[in-house]
Amino acid sequence: MERSSIMTVQRLMRLRTNTFMSAQIPSSGYPARHLHMQMIQGCFGGSRANAMTSMPTLVEVGAACPIRPLSSVPTPLVKMMTDAIEMQRNKTQRLFDLESFGSNDWDEIESLLFWWASQETMEGLDWSWKILDRLAIECSSKNVKYNDMESQLKGKMTAWLNLTVNSWRFLVLDPQSAEMTTSNEPALMTTENILNKIDSFPPHILPDAQTYSMIIDAKIMQDPSKAAQFAEQILEQMHQESRLNHRVEPDLVTYNSVINAWSKSGLQNAGEKAEALLQRMEELGLKLGTISFNSVISAWANSNDPTAGQRAELLLRRMLELSRQGNDDMHPNTITYNSVIDAWAKSGDLSAGKKAESLLSEMAEQYNTGNGDTKPDTLSYNSAITAWAKSRDPNAGMR
């Protein structure tokens, strides 16, 4: 059996057990696969039912398989899956062999691009980019007018681009993706390569805010030390481009992604930068919530700034006040408190231990009075202990 087919099947089986797929992405708070389904729905007419019924046999077969090693999967089933992959390869190649696309080809293009992007494999990603490249050639040809293209596709080009970028992001976020790459498959593109690729497309294939937010998320994983400056540059570029293309206007998710980049940077000015972005979001009228504040607090905790504890706790107090005023999107949770305690622990402040223990008691009190979102966990206690240990308080050992 062809090695690339085996690797594709192995990855399909492994992805079903990979906890990464159900983990929350910090910038958005939604499970990764949920975000993928949202884009699929947009591409296939808006309903989950339409998206799922359009899904090919291979995915249905994979979903029906019990979780077990590939070696224990019956050979006929593996053959069925690899045959399905080969069928899609042939269908895609036949499409490429056409001199130009007719009006009846667009549904086939959509189906194939969705199929390959949803595989979340290097081969699937490679085919997805090839389909977009072929579309770019078609769009640039003299036979295709922009108005005709726009009326036929009804804005689906951006959704197709996002499906492909999201597939690439999945592979970047998955630490085992490199292990599943065969020697004849191309390496994952860097974020800079992705941006250059998007810039090379004709105006029919336009990115939107979601495109850039996903690229920022991937940059955080690929190069966290440089992600913050990269994200800031992308943010300013989006604001400039939005004058001509309103779809790239930065939204709440974009700003959360940039704040998350600062949070992961470890730079001493990360807290200041993240909080400045929070203020800018308010000025733009974006609806702030727990995710935005948690990311800023985390930026302070990871900044090594001696005032981090105080600044993080001020943000917590502000969240509590907004929550009391009736803001349903502003409820501090265990993550919030843990980040503030962590900020105090890293501050080296003489009062850090007392502050951390007070916050721990506050969490427990809220939980005991019915707030299930503030239940102290192991990290809460460990961070409080660390705060005492680093506080230089003479009574720290007893505490």
Instruction: Report CA torsion sign: 224, 232, 20, 298.
Output: positive
Write the CA distances from 338 to 342, 353, 381, 382, 384, integer angstroms.
6, 14, 9, 10, 9
Read off the pLDDT of each residue in 48-64 and give the average, rounded to a whole number.
36
CA angle 364, 367, 371 (to 5 degrees): 150
Q: Tell me, yes or no, if the pTM score tops 0.85.
A: no
Choice between 46 and 293, residue whose per-residue pLDDT is larger: 293
Distance CA 358, CA 275 (A): 24
Report pLDDT for 157. 87
- Taking only the tens place, the pLDDT of each residue in 98-125 is 988 877 888 899 999 999 999 888 999 9
Nearest to 171 by CA among 219, 221, 215, 121: 121
Bridge partners, 31 (sequence order): 24
The string of DSSP letters for 274-295 reads HHHHHHHHHHTT----HHHHHH
**Most confident of the ranges 2-6, 55-59, 266-270:** 266-270
Scanning the structure block, which residue is given the tokens 């056409």? 98
Q: Which of 179-193, 272-286, 360-374 has the lowest mean pLDDT?
A: 179-193
* Helix, strand, coil share of the chain (percent; to 5): 70, 0, 30
pLDDT tens for 122-174 read: 999 999 999 999 988 887 765 555 555 555 565 688 999 999 999 999 999 88
Task: Indicate the average pLDDT of the chain.
Answer: 80
Q: Three-state SS for 24?
A: strand
What is the predicted pLDDT for the residue at 269?
A: 95
Determine how many CB atoms are found less than 10 A away from the CB of residue 6.
15
Tokens representing residue 217 in the block: 């998320």
